[in-house]
Copies of this chain bind each other. A is one copy, B any other.
């Protein structure tokens, strides 16, 4: 296979200098319109493809962005990656991935690695506890507005408000929020938002899966049916995953969603629309977040770039989330357990623990 043509091949074929070819192709120096056209033609004819390595060496810019995620295993990662890849490609950048395998130390290592590989900047979706300041390179952080150093992210709090208000508007008064663990800014924001949106009248409590599992083992029952008996008509999970688990558990308890109980999620994961009942949830505008993050990075990398389109100019830190009402939420009518503390339910309707999962 023939080695790929380079600048001088074109130059030689046209009897000009390679600098002229470079100028013509990049539109930088002074080249007559006609020569410029000829060069462009010849380049296409020869199938010229600029060597990024050569360019990188010469300019000091690789046109590659590093994407580091706290945990590649996170179900939201695909959406992130896709959106970032798209935004980067549009800006003429490639995306190099790094994985921190959930570990903060590995994360730093991953970032260093990407920088060594020549990444011009890093997009970081951090694990809680990262010291962003230590990074010696342009960085855009996607976390949550309340985190210091956050560059751009979904407005998790506002998303929570959307959910809270939705539930209140449906007429729910007792709400249980399902969270994973306490030390996550994102979750804290979401929960804060839910509480705010739900309003001060209703009564709200929060369940921490972490704590429950620490006691009863991973995958254990969350005891939601019990809460329903105590008058809780709505469960707002801090992630679709937990919502799914909740729906699942409730249905196994003989409760129907949303006829008996309402369940909502967060993030609109891939399958949220295809389970039944389809999940009411809240979605981030990944596209927008990705575009903003990349735009911010480019601004750091090449400050004198062509001004970004107006719509980006605003560059809000917090991108609004969107409520997606599907069929897992409804008014709390026809509740199976209208009176509180009704413990004498038909055991057939509320089978206890049958089929708990222990692989």
Contact = CB atoms under 8 A, between A and B. Distances in A.
Interface stretch (A10-18, A79-87, A167-175, A226-234): A79-87
A276 B52 contact: no
Nearest to A357: B278
Contact of A356 (B49, B86, B276): B276
B358 A327 contact: yes
Nearest to A119: B94
A251 B245 CA distance: 13
A74 B78 CA distance: 7
A248 B275 contact: yes
A351 B256 CA distance: 10
Contacts of A77: 77-78, 81
Interface stretch (A56-64, A122-130, A194-202): A56-64
Contacts of A98: 85
Interface string A68-110: 0000111101110110011001000011111101000000000
A141 to B, nearest CB: 20
Interface in A112-165: 113-114, 116-118, 136
B118 A53 contact: yes
A241 B259 contact: no
Nearest to A252: B276
A203 interface: no
Given A57-B57, A85-B98, A357-B276, A248 B251 contact: yes
A189 interface: no
Q: How large is the interface on A (under 10, 10 to 19, 20 to 34, 35 or more residues)?
A: 35 or more
Contacts of A252: 251, 256, 276-277
A74 to B, nearest CB: 7
A6 B14 CA distance: 37
A241 B330 CA distance: 24
Interface in A206-243: 218-219, 221, 241
Interface stretch (A36-44, A266-274, A294-302): A266-274
Contacts of A82: 72-73, 99, 101
Contacts of A218: 273-274
A263 to B, nearest CB: 11
A354 B78 contact: no
Contacts of A351: 256, 259
Interface of A: 1, 49-54, 56-57, 62-64, 67, 72-75, 77-79, 81-82, 85-86, 89, 94-99, 101, 113-114, 116-118, 136, 218-219, 221, 241, 244-245, 247-249, 251-252, 256-259, 270-271, 273-278, 324-328, 330, 351, 354-359
